[in-house]
Amino acid sequence: MEIRPATISDVDIIAEFNIAMALETEELRLDPETVKKGVRHLIDHDELGFYLVAVQEDKVVGCLLVTTEWSDWRNGVFWWVQSVYVHPSFRRQGIYRSLYGQVGSLAESKNVCGFRLYVEKENLTAQETYKKLGMHETHYRMYEQDS
């Protein structure tokens, strides 16, 4: 398996994975064109973050997105792990572990003070995976407002 930064040629599969993840985890149907534009925009603007993809036999089988958040309290950057998806037929094979490991390796040369992610409350499988990799639940709750 190869873990590499996503390129423009990966836009369609990443968008497909994001659409599948939203449906699977939130029963939410996303607009494919909007998602493709969003993925492409991020790849074109690396100051916003980056995608990593897991590739087996020339096929993308998983991905994740990393975005940043400045912490004045720590004088450092948190990396937010988002849009995590592994194709169902490739789950439970260490693909997320490899993707997350690459995030850690990349962070070593940056001013990264920690990693964060959010997960659906009911997604117990994902929560266990994150705990096994050394993450812990925080005391924060997340709120949002659409504009």
Q: Which residue range forms the structural domain that includes residue 105?
A: 2-132
| pLDDT over 90 (residue 145) | no
Alpha helices of 27-145 — where are they, by DSSP H? 32-44, 95-107, 124-132
- Is the entire prediction scored with pTM above 0.85? yes
Segment 82-137, tens digit of pLDDT: 999 999 999 999 999 999 999 999 999 888 999 998 888 888 888 888 888 888 88
The domain that holds 32 is classified in CATH as 3.40.630.30
In this prediction, residues 9-27 reach a mean pLDDT of: 95
SS3 64: strand
pLDDT of residue 74: 92
Q: What is the domain count for the chain?
A: 1
CA distance 55 to 63: 9
Q: Is 142 inside a domain boundary? A: no
Instruction: Kindly state whether residue 144 falls inside one of the protein's structural domains.
Output: no
CA distance 22 to 19: 5
Does residue 116 lie in a domain region?
Answer: yes
In a domain, 146, yes or no: no
Evaluate whether residue 138 is within a structural domain: no
Q: What single-letter DSSP state applies at residue 145?
A: -
Distance CA 31, CA 53 (A): 22
- pLDDT tens-digit readout, 42-78: 999 999 999 999 999 999 999 999 999 999 999 999 9
Let me know if residue 45 belongs to a domain: yes
Residue 51 three-state SS: strand
Within a domain: 76: yes
**Axis crossing angle, helix 32-44 with helix 11-26, rounded to the nearest 10:** 130
DSSP state of 61: E
- pLDDT at 138 (0 to 100): 85
Please report, for residues 46, 52, 100, 129, 131, the alpha-carbon distance to residue 134 in angstroms, rounded to integers and kept in the order given. Answer: 27, 20, 11, 9, 5
33 domain-assigned: yes
